[in-house]
C-alpha cells in the first residue's frame, strides 16, 4: 500500500539543493517505505530527496536491509539496492524487512527471522540515510517520528541511534501528531487522525491552536543555538495539543498475510507471494472497482509451482471484517474519544478526519469511519509523505502539548484487604509536562520495615486489542480485564527507611511529575525527620 508515487510532487519543480544549503531533515521510518524530506532554512518548499542507489523514487526508500556474506567486515545493502539485485527473493535470513514493528517490542515473533536484529536494521537504515544526505546538504536539525503504541521504547532506541550524528538538534514527534500538522488546516481546527501504516494503526484527536482573532501559528525558527537565522523574524509559537490517542501494532503487512493465508492456506508465504498479495490489496482498494470483480495474481511457491491469488473487493472486505479489523478500529475510536472527553472534547467539535498511511486507501476503512464520525469532512493528503512533511513543520519554535496514552499506576499495599493494589497516579488523558507535582503519602505495612519499594505500571484498557501470533498469522485478541497492568520496568526502586517504619506509620511523601521529555520524575521527603530522599527517575512513560 505504500508503493504508490506522490503524484502532487512529481509534477512540481523541486528547488535545487547543494552542499552550501542549511536546513532541516525529516525521516519517517516506515514498515514498507521510509520517507526522507529536506527543507532549506530560507523557507523554500520541502524537497523529497533522491538518494541513489537507496531510493526507489525521490523521497522514498524501501525499508529493506541485506547483510552480505562476501566480505569479512560487516557489509550491508540498503533499500532499492536489495530489490535491484533481486535479493528480496533469496532464501536464508540475510534479509531484514518489516523490522519497524519489532523495535522496542519485548518479544519478537518467529515471522521475523532475520539474523539482523530489528534495532540494528533501523540503525543501519537511518545512518545510511544520514550519510547520503550529509553529502548533499548541511543538516542543522533532524526530525524523527515514532509510533504511539511503542513510543517510549522507540524513543529510547532513536535517541541511542542518533547519539553519533553531528547535528545541533534532534526532535521527535508521534506519527498522528505529525500527520495533523501536515494536513494544512486552519489554526484552531480539531482533527481526528487515523494513521494506517504497514505495521501500526494509530488514532489521535489533535487541536491546532490559534484562530478566533489570535495570531496565526507558524512553524519557522527565530533563534537556534545562539545563532540568528537569515530571513527569520520574530514569530508566534505554534502548538498542537493532543486531546486523546491510542494505537495498535497491526497494519498493512498483516493484511497481506491474511490475504495469502486465506487464498493459499496450505502454503508458507514467501516474500514473493506476500508482495503479490500486497499488489492485490492495492488493486482492490480502487474506489471505482466493482465489488464482485475478481482480480488474479500469479505466484510461485517454494517448489516453483504455479499458484494463483484470486479475490474480489467484496471478498477482501469480508476477510477484514472476519479478522476483526473494523472492531479493532472501533475500539481505538472509543478509547481515543474517551480520553479526549476528559479534555472537554465532544464529537461535534471535530472539523475534519485526516487519513494517512497506505492502509487508509482501503475504501472499507474510510466508509466505516464516515459512519461513526457522523458526516465529518474527510481529508486525504498524499498518504506516504504527509507524516514526514508534518514532522518537518515541527521546528524548534513549535511546542507540542501532549497527553498520556495509557496512564500510570503505583503498586501499593491495601491494609484493609491485605493485598497489593494498583493505585492510579496519572490517568490516560493527563497532559504533560505537568504543571505541579502529584503528592502521595506512603505508610509502612509491617513493623520494623526497612524500605518501601516503588513499582510503576501502565493500565491496559478493557476492550482494547493486543496482537498474538498463531502459526505465524497475526490475530487480534481483546483484552478482557480492565485491571490488567503492564510494569513499565521490571526493577523496583527501593526507598530505605531510617529509622525503620512501624505498621500504619506515615513515612514518606512522594512528589510525582512528568517532564517535557515524557519522563516520570519523583522526589521524596521523610515525614518523620523532614530529610530529603534521593530517588532516581522512573523512566519514560506514554
Cell of 352: 475534519
Of the chain, the percentage scoring pLDDT greater than 70 comes to: 78
DSSP H stretches of helix in 21-150: 80-84, 118-134
Q: What is the pLDDT of residues 240-262, one digit of tens each?
A: 678 888 888 888 989 999 999 99
Paired with 501 in beta bridges are: 449
Banded pLDDT at 356 (limits 50, 70, 90): confident
Banded pLDDT at 218 (limits 50, 70, 90): very low
Residue 437: burial class (beta carbons within 10 Å; 0-12, 13-18, 19+) = middle
> What whole-number distance in Å separates Cα of residue 343 and Cα of residue 416?
34
Residue with cell 552550501: 20
Cis peptide before 432 (omega within 30 of 0): no
Q: Which of 75, 82, 91 is nearest to 61 (CA)?
A: 82
Residue 270 φ/ψ, nearest 5 degrees: -85, 170
Find all residues with CB under 8 Å of 298, minimum gap 6, and list them: 276, 306, 307, 308, 309
Q: Which of 197, 305, 309 is nearest to 261 (CA)?
A: 309
Q: What is the pLDDT of residues 12-60, one digit of tens each?
A: 344 566 667 888 899 999 888 999 999 887 767 889 999 999 999 999 9
> What whole-number distance in Å separates Cα of residue 330 and Cα of residue 333?
5
Question: What is the CB neighbour count within 10 angstroms for residue 326?
Answer: 17
pLDDT value, residue 399? 55
Q: What is the pLDDT of residues 290-337, one digit of tens each?
A: 999 999 999 988 888 899 999 999 999 999 999 999 999 999 999 999
pLDDT value, residue 469? 58
* Model pTM score: 0.67
Pair 537, 524: CB distance under 8 Å: no
Paired with 239 in beta bridges are: 399
Residue 533: burial class (beta carbons within 10 Å; 0-12, 13-18, 19+) = middle
Strands of 456-459's sheet in order across:
419-426, 408-414, 456-459, 485-487
Q: What is the pLDDT of residues 364-404, one digit of tens each?
A: 998 999 888 877 888 878 777 888 888 787 655 455 666 67
Q: Which of 514, 502, 518, 511 is nearest to 533 (CA)?
A: 511
Q: What is the pLDDT of residues 456-502, one digit of tens each?
A: 877 766 555 555 656 666 666 665 555 567 766 656 678 888 899 88
Q: Which domains does the chain have, with CATH numbers?
A: 7-249+341-403 (3.30.420.40), 252-325 (3.90.640), 408-540 (2.60.34)
Classify the C-alpha dihedral 47-53-56-57 as positive or negative: positive
Q: How far apart are the first and last CA of the chain?
A: 28
Residue with cell 493500565: 459
Cell of 3: 508503493
Amino acid at each position: 500500500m505504500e508503493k504508490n508515487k506522490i503524484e502532487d510532487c512529481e509534477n512540481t519543480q523541486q528547488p535545487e539543493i547543494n552542499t552550501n544549503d542549511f536546513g532541516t531533515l525529516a525521516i519517517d521510518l516506515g514498515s514498507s517505505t521510509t520517507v526522507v524530506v529536506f527543507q532549506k532554512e530560507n523557507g523554500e518548499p520541502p524537497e523529497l530527496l533522491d538518494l541513489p542507489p537507496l531510493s526507489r523514487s525521490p523521497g522514498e526508500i524501501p525499508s529493506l536491509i541485506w547483510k552480505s556474506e562476501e566480505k569479512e567486515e560487516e557489509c550491508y545493502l540498503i533499500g532499492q539496492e536489495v530489490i535491484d539485485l533481486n535479493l528480496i527473493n533469496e532464501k536464508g535470513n540475510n534479509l531484514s524487512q518489516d523490522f519497524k514493528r519489532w523495535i522496542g517490542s519485548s518479544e519478537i515473533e518467529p515471522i521475523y527471522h532475520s539474523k539482523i536484529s530489528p534495532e540494528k536494521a533501523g540503525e543501519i537504515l537511518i545512518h545510511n540515510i544520514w550519510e547520503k544526505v550529509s553529502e548533499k546538504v548541511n543538516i542543522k536539525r533532524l526530525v524523527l517520528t515514532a509510533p504511539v503504541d511503542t513510543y517510549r521504547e522507540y524513543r529510547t532506541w532513536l535517541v541511542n541511534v542518533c547519539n553519533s550524528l553531528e547535528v545541533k538538534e534532534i526532535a521527535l514527534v508521534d506519527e498522528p501528531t505529525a500527520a495533523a500538522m501536515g494536513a494544512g488546516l486552519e489554526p484552531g481546527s480539531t482533527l481526528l487522525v487515523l494513521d494506517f501504516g504497514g505495521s501500526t494503526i494509530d488514532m489521535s484527536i489533535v487541536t491546532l491552536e490559534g484562530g478566533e482573532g489570535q495570531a496565526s501559528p507558524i512553524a519557522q525558527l527565530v533563534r537556534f543555538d545562539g545563532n540568528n537565522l537569515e530571513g527569520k523574524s520574530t514569530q508566534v509559537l505554534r502548538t498542537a495539543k493532543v486531546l486523546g490517542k491510542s494505537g495498535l501494532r497491526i497494519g498493512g503487512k498483516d493484511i497481506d498475510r491474511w490475504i495469502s493465508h486465506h487464498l493459499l492456506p496450505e502454503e508458507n508465504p514467501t516474500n514473493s507471494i506476500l508482495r503479490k498479495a500486497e499488489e492485490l490489496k492495492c488493486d482492490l482498494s480502487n474506489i471505482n472497482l466493482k465489488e464482485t470483480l475478481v482480480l488474479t495474481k500469479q505466484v510461485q511457491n517454494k517448489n516453483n509451482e504455479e499458484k494463483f491469488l484470486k479475490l474480489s473487493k467484496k471478498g477482501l472486505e469480508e476477510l477484514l471484517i472476519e479478522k476483526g479489523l473494523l472492531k479493532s478500529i472501533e475500539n481505538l475510536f472509543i478509547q481515543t474519544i474517551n480520553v479526549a472527553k476528559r479534555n472537554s472534547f465532544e464529537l461535534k467539535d471535530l472539523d475534519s478526519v485526516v487519513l494517512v498511511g497506505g492502509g487508509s486507501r482501503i475504501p472499507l476503512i474510510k466508509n466505516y469511519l464516515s459512519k461513526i464520525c457522523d458526516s465529518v469532512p474527510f481529508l486525504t493528503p498524499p498518504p506516504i509523505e504527509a507524516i514526514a512533511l508534518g514532522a518537518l513543520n515541527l521546528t524548534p519554535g513549535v511546542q507540542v502539548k501532549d497527553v498520556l496514552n495509557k496512564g500510570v499506576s503505583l503498586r501499593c499495599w491495601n491494609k484493609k484487604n491485605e493485598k497489593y493494589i494498583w493505585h492510579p497516579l496519572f490517568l490516560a488523558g493527563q497532559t504533560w509536562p505537568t504543571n505541579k507535582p502529584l503528592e502521595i503519602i506512603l505508610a509502612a505495612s509491617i513493623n520494623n520495615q526497612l524500605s518501601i519499594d516503588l513499582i510503576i505500571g501502565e493500565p491496559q484498557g478493557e476492550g482494547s486489542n493486543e496482537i498474538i501470533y498463531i502459526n505465524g498469522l497475526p490475530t487480534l485478541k481483546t483484552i478482557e480485564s480492565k485491571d490488567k497492568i503492564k510494569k513499565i520496568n521490571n526493577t523496583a526502586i527501593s526507598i530505605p527507611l531510617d529509622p525503620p517504619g512501624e505498621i500504619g506509620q506515615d513515612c514518606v511523601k512522594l512528589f510525582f511529575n512528568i517532564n517535557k521529555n515524557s519522563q516520570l520524575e519523583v522526589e521524596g521527603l521523610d515525614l518523620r525527620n523532614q530529610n530529603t530522599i534521593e530517588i532516581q527517575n522512573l523512566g519514560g512513560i506514554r
